[in-house]
Structure 1
């Protein structure tokens, strides 16, 4: 018909180009957001693994400090058993062996704490000092034991006077180490929780920003297409 309006050829081509641009933008936004999501999952997963490793090491250090506390208290008790019940040869050997076993446990736990001190932010110097004091205490116990005579009960009083109170500074030092480990563990746990919350906020902000940028691009293309058609 002569009165019919002809649609220019370029209009169809322009519409096709707009649709292609819109589709390309949507695909790009989808890919970018997917990559951001995958990065966020990987980043959070790696951070959680690091955090769990740190927490596990802290928990182990705290347990080690508590074991040192308990072992030293048992060591002191076994020393008293040597003096009080060592009149019998079998009892003497049994309690002395137990005393030496607990002494070894204390030393092993303190050495383990000293080895981990630097990485966990604990006072390595205090750990080394405790080890040195424990070695000195061991020597003093042996000196006192040399005064013990199973055949003379009165020698118990002699040994007791020689070693009376020598365990108290060591007991206080080990308690202080355990408290320091506990406080450090609590502080690091708080830091890790704060870092985890900060990671969540950052990743959430990035994800929202990416989504808004995608929406803005799609909107811009739709507006541009509408203007052209108008």
Structure 2
């Protein structure tokens, strides 16, 4: 007698195929999400390294500007010491040497600052103007010092009168350079914080989107598998 009983269309082989498809979809979602996550993390890490390097260079520029500030103030003080305490030849030579040493330090710091300014968004022209003004000031100090006579105490007052206050404009300008570097550092720090927050938000969006797409694919596979069983 012929068996006319109808067998289910969806047998053990169909269930296995559905399970394999489901497992494959899960693996694909996991792999894709992992790759996207790793890529995003690497981009975030690279951006963080670049940001740290940029901040480090700005902090260094600010330190150099502040060192120029300090060196210039000491240079001016050494000039005053030369006039007020340089009556003895040994003292005179010592204070002049101190003045010239600080002058070289200021020039070196300003040159270094000029070299690093452009990539950091600092005003190179302003720095170079300060360098020119500093050289000019040195020439004026030396012209005045040529009239100094250690044997004549009154000459110290005459020389001081000749150059009194000529350091103040440059002193204010160097202070302004340091302040400009500080403001630039603050602005860049704010930019970096904003960019980091945006990267974090983007990474979160990508992760959530990948998860939702993966769940949608799994749902589609399950629905198709259910349809075959029906």
Which TM bucket (shorter chain)? over 0.9
- Measure how far apart 1:162 and its partner are: 1.4
Kindly report the root-mean-square deviation, in angstroms, between the aligned alpha carbons of the 2 structures. Answer: 1.6
Residue 37 of structure 1 deviates from its aligned partner by: 1.6
Which residue does the alignment assign to 2:124?
Answer: 124
> Corresponding residue for 2:172?
172
State the Cα distance separating 1:16 from its structure 2 match.
2.1
Q: Work out the CA distance in 1 between the residues paired with 2:211 and 2:105.
A: 58
TM-score by length of structure 1 reads 0.95
Aligned position for 2:112 = 112
* SS in structure 1 at match of 2:148: coil
5+ residue gaps in structure 2? Answer: none
**What CA deviation, in whole Å up to 9, does each residue of 1:152-198 have, x standing for no partner?**
11110111121111101100110111111111110001001100100
The answer to which structure, 1 or 2, has the higher relative contact order (CA under 8 A, 6+ apart) is 2
Q: 1:39 to 1:185 in 2, by over 3 A?
A: same
Matches of 2:201 and 2:119, distance apart in 1: 28
1:59-208 equivalence runs, <5 A: 59-208=59-208
8 A contact 2:9–2:229 mirrored in 1: no
SS of corresponding position for 2:11:
helix
Which residue in the other structure is 1:58 paired with?
Answer: 58
Could you list the runs of 5+ residues in structure 1 that have no partner in the other structure?
none
Corresponding position of 1:228: 228
Instruction: Report how far residue 94 of structure 1 moved.
Output: 1.2
**Matched pairs, number:** 229
Structure 2 distance, partners of 1:183, 1:115, is 19
- In structure 1, what is the Cα distance between the partners aligned to 2:55 and 2:98? 33
TM-score normalised by L of structure 2 = 0.95
Equivalence for 1:26: 26
